[in-house]
Structure 1
Amino acid sequence: MHQARTTCPYCGVGCGVVAELAGERIVGVSGDSEHPANYGRLCVKGSALHETLGHRGRLTRPRVDGVEVDWETALSAVAQRLAATRSEHGADAVAAYLSGQLLTEDYYVANKLFKGFLGTPHLDTNSRLCMASAVAAYKRSLGADAVPCSYEDLEEAELVVLVGSNLAWNHPVLYQRLKVAKTRNPLMRVVVIDPRVTDSCEIADLYLGLRPGSDARLFNGLLTWMADRGRLDRVYLEKHTHGLEEALAAAREEDDSVEAIAADCDLDPERLETFYYWFSSQLHVVTLYSQGINQSSSGTDKCNAIINCHLAGGKLGLPGAGPFSITGQPNAMGGREVGGLANQLAAHMDYHTPGARDRVTRFWATESLVPTLPEGPGHKAVELFESIERGEVRALWIMATNPAVSLPRANRVREALETCPLVIVSECMADTDLLDYADIVLPASSWSEKNGTVTNSERRISRQRGLLPPPGEAKHDWWIITQVARRLGYGEAFDYAHPAEIFDEHARLSGFENADSSKRLFDISGLAGLDRAAFDALLPIQWPVTAAAPRGTARLFEDGRFATPDGRARLIPVRPREPEQALSEARPLRLNTGRIRDQWHTMTRTARAPRLMNHRAEPFIEITPEDALALGVGDQQLARLRGAGGDYLGRVRLTKGQRRGEVFVPMHWSDRFSGSARMGSLLEAHLDPLSGQPESKHGAVALESLPVAWEATLLVADDLPATPGWCMESAYWARIPLAHGQRWQLAGMPEQADRDWLAWLAGHLPVTPALWLDDPAGGRLRAAGIEDGRLRWWLMVGPPAELPGLAWLDERLAEAARGEALSPERRRRLLAGCDDGAADSGPVVCSCHQVGQKAIVAAIRGGEASVEALGARLACGTQCGSCIPELKSLIEEQRATHAEEEKAPCEP
């Protein structure tokens, strides 16, 4: 056994991880106590990283036109077909779509190949879907895509404002860090501004549940409130900024009274003015904002409205202060550093920057090769797929992302991919929706195998180390790109043998002709020249890293100089706009979308850890009890959302944290896990005109009950085939991986009310029913398939609420996989699904320790009336802390229930 340090591959917090290795296996992970991003903390996803590994389900060989081939054949096919497309249709017919899951070194060589030598501007990334508006706003106001803050500013702040950010679920480690800081500093205040009451509200001193889309109006009001009450920092404004009067004039175009703003935002005026007073009264204010701000057709303006308020109050460039955009992906920032967006060149240079194109051309030129960089920006993500639809882009290379699920109008994206003459996909998993559209499939390495760097939300570069060999013939993305470049004739410019050499070139380019680094803030020239050993030993460090700042830079703009031509920041006039996706009689509900606590993106990694499926096992629709009653749907009932581009089926969850007239759905489910739960199909493709970011937070939908004749749960051993017929014949289905098998939730259409289940099982499964208990009158059935004394499958027809805890049955599938026969007692208990007297612990609340809701409620009723007491008794909430807000909610619910019971009149 030995240990190795690396970086977590999930959100933009960028946590350090210590992996425990035994031979060629990672047997456990823990937080790196020396990493300044997390100081030893890990969320439940990070803690389960070792459970997501293994060769099962991985892509291990290249495929060309559906046939497995060797690497030489695959690489030659990629090069020949790209070259042929470029020769026949021009450079603009070639494109790439990348991902914040790539390492910086992968990104660098991809950008260099496509923009530098293939000469196409059409290289974009899925970071466009989450961070583009924040980037555009920083550049418009501060002059550079440069987050000014550090995580340590959370400890220094007097006021922390969370806007459009469910930090507790989406960046759990940073949330725990904020929570500890608040405990240590009782004077710190936290304000949460969000249409939903989320778990982040647990530490809020003030909650503002604003109307979706009204954020710019709220912050414009803050700006004028500060101006009218003498709360502007006039000295800072006059010395370091431009544009105050224009920004104020735009903010005053509408009635700027607190009452008018509160009415437009659907807020209580007194609570709104409390926030305005707190913000203007404190100097050390950090505003953390994320997708709730960015994912809008006016997201850039919303970000600038926030930045305006920080500039106006001088709340930037000092400890505990600044507008802080929290990154969604582990390397969204690293991708932008090397030019991963369609409107960028490498090293934070832009097409519109005088001399930038020539500078990159000269740096990349070799003795015999001169790059042919495009003259202007290319298509941003949504526009890129629209150009494929029109037949303009004819060759697309997609790496480490799944636009068939994540983009708006997802069904049209699939149609575009279907018609594209050449689709190349670099992917590590063998079972993703996207592979159905790929002409060439290239097996890529994944976390624990990849070797390079990532950059987190606070500009901190960390090493992601290759700890295991890739399975089969899988290769690193940088290697694949380099090999294709060589076959295209560009080998002299892509003569890399190790990612350390790519990183060195990247570092040198950042400092190339960058004597005045105040204008090009991204500068890591202080890291140039590292050999392989020094690269491998690189410690986490924040850019800029230069000769003047060899240990990095924690905070930007401390001297009040910005990366603009005159060194002054700009306050931007913001005119609030309503969401483009308007509500209508046909679609009267406002749709909100987002991440959930235990899943990541399209679940290709997290679904491999079955305990991460237990908190929210199926796609769902959150709605208020009042709206549910009016629409005729009940809690845990199946329902359908109808959107502009398709339908979404999920299980209704009633919540008092939702606003009336609004619904929330998760972004994670794909066709590999459910039949119709791709949230992208509900959304129109309305874009921010500056950033190109889609409006994913403001859909318009209708909701209706899904009529079903029955519901069933089928557990199947892993080595039995997963028959697609189960899905095609069902009104609804969801696949939920277990530790030792697969769980299928099925629901039948009304015309299937009289299904002969025993005949259906015999026709769909290779093992016929051995045990069954049938109640036709009640519409209930339990059955089990046994082969050679081993459990092979188990079925319950009836509502999921009647299920026993499935851990006992899953262990029986594990015994079967080991070749162990059922004991007579366990065979007798099969139809019950549990040991005699065993209690169902209910839906899992604490994923770390697999503690269920029923067990927690029983403990609360038994007198454990605090989170600490529950932790001592059940261990819930004692590891990553992500479940603590839910534990507190359960405690409050039980207190309220007990109070109602106390008030109830006694029976005579």
Structure 2
Amino acid sequence: MDMSLPVQTVRTTCPYCGVGCGVSATVKPGTIPIIAGDTAHAANKGRLCVKGAALGETLVLDGRLLYPQVRENGSMRRAGWDEALERVAGGFASIIAEHGPDAVALYVSGQLLTEDYYVANKFMKGYVGSANIDTNSRLCMSSSVAGHKRAFGEDLVPGAYEDFELADMIVLVGSNTAWCHPTLFQRILKAKEARPSLQVVAIDPRRTATCELADLHLPVKPGTDVWLFNGLLSYLARHGVKDSAFVAAHTEGLDMALATADADCGDPAQVARICRVDPAKLLAFYEGFAATRKVVSAYSQGVNQSSSGTDKVNAIINCHLLTGRIGHPGMGPFSLTGQPNAMGGREVGGLANMLAAHMDLDNPLQRDALRAFWEAPRIADKPGLKAVDLFRAVEEGSVKAVWIIATNPLVSLPDADQVRRALEKCELVVVSDIVGATDTTTHADVLLPALGWGEKDGTVTNSERCISRQRAFLPAPGEARADWWALCEVARRMGFSGFDYEDAHAIFDEHARLSGWRNGEGGAGRRVFDISGMSGMRRQDYDALEPIQWPVLRAADGTLQATARLFADGRFAHASGKARFVATAPRLPVHALDDEFPLALNTGRMRDQWHTMTRTGKSPRLANHAPEPLIDLHPNDALLCGVREGELARVTSRWGAMVARVTHGGGIARGSVFVPIHWSGQTASDARVGALVNPAVDPVSGEPEFKHTPVRIEPFVVEWHAFVLSRKALSLDSIANWTRIQGDGFVRYEMGGRGPVGADWARALLAADGEADWIDYEDGSAGAYRAAYLVDGRLQACVFVARRPQLPARDWLAGLFARESLGALDRATLLAGRAPQQGPDAGPTVCSCFGVGRNTICAAIRTHRLETTAQVTACVRAGGNCGSCVPEIGKLLALASCGEEAAQ
């Protein structure tokens, strides 16, 4: 290391899931930052999942939006910030003047820092005067928000991560925690290793990686969670498992909730039939819950993303209220948020039906308090449009301008093609992003370059209400600026005062002061969210802020007092001070299966990817676990649909269609289909699953039904399958289906096509000039063609084509791109797709940290008669770093113990 250059280590937070892991970034100018877990952060204690560990690979600037752009004569051109901001401010102002404040809207994101979120909501709700600002967090946790408000009187998560380690039973409902909240799941596993009596129950229609390490898996029929938990409530009441003193003193509404539960769910055998689970396993769950005082029930998207998501949340909370299992160590309902700052957005009123600092739109005293604090000319006095309705209003023309910040709704929203139609018709579309080319930016009239992770400075709040600093350790690239800065500049150009912030610290200070403003005064009600103890911090104290759970007050000696758990005193946020049981009448999903669409589509995340892959898609390491979009379904359903594993198929709903490769993951019940959410128009030709998802929403929360869309599946016929490895991006307009995968120094494409192939076709596809050093091989009878070309002995691209999907492994070929030139032996064997002395194919990647394949692990298990994940780690290293692959290793061990071989 050159000691003349400064080396700096900055503590920050991870930009992925809601666990909110601490990250240590060691920076030396001119090199890629070294990313590690922050051992001092309580959320992860130094551990990172594979996505977090690979963050350094995602910091390259290729594809970044580096300067403002404006649309002129149908195409985008570079512009200065002044021109771009004037275009936004002038457009918003003229539309508001002619059509009123509800004719404009903001659509923001849980990727924003709290300071960005705060300014966006102040701008819209206090100065524009409309609540037409919603967030992509509507798509993942708004049902939890609504459930919390109904039960507790405020959007409050009672517990702390420590409760998972103190509990005697952990119930994971609709949460593939092992993949979606990996470091928290590793804490659960460590707790179970130390205390094997800790019981883990997984409730999920799929047998996910989480289920592999659970003591009990209840594979409920999609959409039947309310029946399950109403049945539990009824069972607990009938068996006398009730904290009568707590219920009498601190709750209300039990009689109606219990009557509703008893009416449809009083018979466990009937509940088992409706939920389609083994009655013995259902009773085992009910009995275990009844017998265990310290129970944590954690729920995530499988609960929230439903047309009855809010009722599902309340059905779970009801069981904890009945037993008094809330507010104390090792127990309570626990919402696991999906995004890094979904909770921070909730603090500042990020949803269209909320105000900042947990104030309510329908409370005139709180509206007046907020208007007075902001010294705002007006205040929104009615809920704005929630995400799905917002883009419907854009298409209908009642919303004429929309500013989209840090999100990609053309991929992530349900009925995503409707969003495309909306943006095509919209009078003014502004997009702030770090990426130049997304499905959404294509429709922008103004593009504003934002700061990304490592460049942004501010705070985020994780799922346990812990506020952490996200600190910058990289310079702003190009002309990129903070989102709060761009919002303030537009506000000032529209003539609004109150946006003269110098930095994120000033915004946070205002946010903290607001949380204590008139809190509990004048009949406005006491809000539990209160971080006023952090107001008045000096800049250096803000910069040095350690992670802290709210509420945060300041002690007499000046120290900050955090709050690990809420409701320990039995006092809740309703005016009565009591929690409310909510009667939850069970109902099926809005759209039923039928003969035309007989399968239920469930969507979700893959282990190593995040959202629409604008960040994780840059990491070669993260591409190997699941390189292509997939359709996971039961083999019997595949047979009925006429599709085969490894081949392409089309999934169609009433709203859209997509194409992906069929797989049998082994965890899908008959009648269900799983498709991941991550692929966009930049990474695949036709794999946006959002285009299929039905736009039905929960009537209370407005959260869409991502877990149950009726679909059909049919073959997507191609004449050949192929893959390409190329140093440069290719034009694939003539290819029927393709997926783009980032390699180390090259781009990989997986393809299916129609029509003749051969030398002329391959040269055109690979953009090889006439003087290229070209080698190829063709077997017409077998339908095989292979070609490669080199420049000065260095491999530039290669293509392998076959009639069936069975093609050579990509690993050795990928390694050739790291060489400056190929020797004679490599050239001679290049078209064979493997080295002359190469051993067995390692198989699909299981451990991304060390690049260990499934076949390698299975061979080690057989050869060395391994029985535990620790033994596998000792033998082949898999599972020895982040631990994200441990559940999959466990599944391979289980298959081996049954004498089965893992599916290829």
Please give the range of the TM-score, normalised by the shorter of the 2 chains.
Answer: over 0.9
For residue 162 of structure 1, what is the aligned residue in structure 2?
A: 172
The separation in 2 between residues aligned to 1:132 and 1:476, in whole angstroms, is 26
Kindly state the Cα deviation for residue 471 of structure 1 after the two structures are TM-superposed: 1.0
Corresponding residue to 1:360 among 352, 362, 370: 370
For residue 889 of structure 2, what is the aligned residue in structure 1?
A: 887
Map Cα deviations across residues 766-795 of structure 1 (whole Å, 9 max, x no partner): 435600010011000110012232211100
- Please give the residue correspondences for 1:302-451 in structure 2 after superposition, counting only pairs within 5 Å: 302-365=312-375, 370-451=376-457
**TM-score, normalised with respect to structure 2:** 0.96
Map Cα deviations across residues 481-511 of structure 1 (whole Å, 9 max, x no partner): 1111111112x30111110000000000000
For residue 153 of structure 2, what is the aligned residue in structure 1?
A: 143
Map Cα deviations across residues 510-563 of structure 1 (whole Å, 9 max, x no partner): 001114798301100000011211111000000000135932100000000000
Map Cα deviations across residues 219-240 of structure 1 (whole Å, 9 max, x no partner): 0011111111111111110000
The separation in 2 between residues aligned to 1:643 and 1:623, in whole angstroms, is 16
Corresponding residue to 2:11 among 5, 20, 38: 5
Structure 2 residue 493 is the aligned partner of structure 1 residue 487: yes
Kindly state the Cα deviation for residue 262 of structure 1 after the two structures are TM-superposed: 0.8
SS in 2 for 1:603: coil
User: Taking structure 1 as reference, are residues 864 and 20 closer, same or farther at Cα in structure 2, changes over 3 Å only?
Assistant: farther
Kindly state the Cα deviation for residue 255 of structure 1 after the two structures are TM-superposed: 5.1
The separation in 2 between residues aligned to 1:714 and 1:378, in whole angstroms, is 48
Give the fraction of aligned pairs with identical amino acids, expressed as a percent: 50
The separation in 1 between residues aligned to 2:893 and 2:335, in whole angstroms, is 33
- Please give the residue correspondences for 1:513-552 in structure 2 after superposition, counting only pairs within 5 Å: 513-515=518-520, 519-547=526-554, 550-552=560-562
Map Cα deviations across residues 134-180 of structure 1 (whole Å, 9 max, x no partner): 00000001011010010000111111100000000000000000111
The separation in 2 between residues aligned to 1:626 and 1:721, in whole angstroms, is 39
Query: How many residues are aligned here?
Result: 883
Structure 2 residue 88 is the aligned partner of structure 1 residue 88: no
For residue 501 of structure 2, what is the aligned residue in structure 1?
A: 496
Kindly state the Cα deviation for residue 898 of structure 1 after the two structures are TM-superposed: 6.3
Q: Is the 8 A contact 2:158 2:333 kept in 1?
A: yes
For residue 785 of structure 2, what is the aligned residue in structure 1?
A: 781
The separation in 2 between residues aligned to 1:25 and 1:372, in whole angstroms, is 49
Kindly state the Cα deviation for residue 887 of structure 1 after the two structures are TM-superposed: 1.1
- Segments of 5+ residues of structure 1 without an aligned counterpart are 901-908
User: Taking structure 1 as reference, are residues 518 and 281 closer, same or farther at Cα in structure 2, changes over 3 Å only?
Assistant: farther
Corresponding residue to 2:270 among 222, 237, 260: 260
- Over the aligned positions, Cα root-mean-square deviation in angstroms equals 1.6
The separation in 2 between residues aligned to 1:202 and 1:797, in whole angstroms, is 37
The separation in 2 between residues aligned to 1:309 and 1:743, in whole angstroms, is 50
The separation in 1 between residues aligned to 2:320 and 2:336, in whole angstroms, is 16
Kindly state the Cα deviation for residue 828 of structure 1 after the two structures are TM-superposed: 2.1
The separation in 2 between residues aligned to 1:620 and 1:806, in whole angstroms, is 18
Map Cα deviations across residues 394-432 of structure 1 (whole Å, 9 max, x no partner): 000000000000111101110101110100000001221
User: Taking structure 1 as reference, are residues 320 and 134 closer, same or farther at Cα in structure 2, changes over 3 Å only?
Assistant: same
Map Cα deviations across residues 601-642 of structure 1 (whole Å, 9 max, x no partner): 000000111110100000001111222223222221111111
For residue 697 of structure 1, what is the aligned residue in structure 2?
A: 707
Kindly state the Cα deviation for residue 286 of structure 1 after the two structures are TM-superposed: 0.4
Structure 2 residue 244 is the aligned partner of structure 1 residue 237: no
For residue 850 of structure 1, what is the aligned residue in structure 2?
A: 851
The separation in 2 between residues aligned to 1:785 and 1:764, in whole angstroms, is 9
The separation in 1 between residues aligned to 2:534 and 2:420, in whole angstroms, is 42
SS in 1 for 2:631: strand
For residue 47 of structure 1, what is the aligned residue in structure 2?
A: 53
> Could you tell which deviates more after superposition, 514-523 or 660-669?
514-523
The separation in 2 between residues aligned to 1:245 and 1:898, in whole angstroms, is 51
Kindly state the Cα deviation for residue 683 of structure 1 after the two structures are TM-superposed: 1.4
**TM-score, normalised with respect to structure 1:** 0.95
SS in 2 for 1:12: coil
Map Cα deviations across residues 696-722 of structure 1 (whole Å, 9 max, x no partner): 1011100112211100111111xx342
For residue 677 of structure 1, what is the aligned residue in structure 2?
A: 687
Q: Is the 8 A contact 2:341 2:460 kept in 1?
A: yes
Structure 2 residue 209 is the aligned partner of structure 1 residue 199: yes
Kindly state the Cα deviation for residue 250 of structure 1 after the two structures are TM-superposed: 1.0
For residue 559 of structure 1, what is the aligned residue in structure 2?
A: 569
The separation in 2 between residues aligned to 1:606 and 1:421, in whole angstroms, is 33
The separation in 2 between residues aligned to 1:714 and 1:760, in whole angstroms, is 10
- Please give the residue correspondences for 1:174-185 in structure 2 after superposition, counting only pairs within 5 Å: 174-185=184-195
The separation in 2 between residues aligned to 1:405 and 1:508, in whole angstroms, is 37
SS in 1 for 2:105: strand
For residue 618 of structure 1, what is the aligned residue in structure 2?
A: 628
Q: Is the 8 A contact 1:845 1:852 kept in 2?
A: yes
Map Cα deviations across residues 805-851 of structure 1 (whole Å, 9 max, x no partner): 43433343344xxxx33333322232123322113311111001111
SS in 1 for 2:315: helix
Q: Is the 8 A contact 1:222 1:276 kept in 2?
A: yes
The separation in 2 between residues aligned to 1:205 and 1:890, in whole angstroms, is 17
Kindly state the Cα deviation for residue 804 of structure 1 after the two structures are TM-superposed: 3.7
- Segments of 5+ residues of structure 2 without an aligned counterpart are 1-6
Kindly state the Cα deviation for residue 860 of structure 1 after the two structures are TM-superposed: 1.8
Kindly state the Cα deviation for residue 760 of structure 1 after the two structures are TM-superposed: 4.5
Structure 2 residue 724 is the aligned partner of structure 1 residue 722: no
Q: Is the 8 A contact 1:877 1:884 kept in 2?
A: yes
The one-letter code sitting in structure 1 at the alignment partner of 2:544 is A
The separation in 1 between residues aligned to 2:873 and 2:346, in whole angstroms, is 42
The separation in 2 between residues aligned to 1:344 and 1:473, in whole angstroms, is 33
Structure 2 residue 805 is the aligned partner of structure 1 residue 798: no
For residue 903 of structure 1, what is the aligned residue in structure 2?
A: none
SS in 2 for 1:506: helix
Q: Is the 8 A contact 1:518 1:562 kept in 2?
A: no
For residue 510 of structure 2, what is the aligned residue in structure 1?
A: 505
Structure 2 residue 101 is the aligned partner of structure 1 residue 99: no
> Could you tell which deviates more after superposition, 226-235 or 854-863?
854-863
Q: Is the 8 A contact 1:215 1:302 kept in 2?
A: yes
The separation in 1 between residues aligned to 2:22 and 2:803, in whole angstroms, is 43
For residue 869 of structure 1, what is the aligned residue in structure 2?
A: 871
Find runs of 4+ consecutive structure 1 residues off by over 6 angstroms. none
For residue 821 of structure 1, what is the aligned residue in structure 2?
A: 821
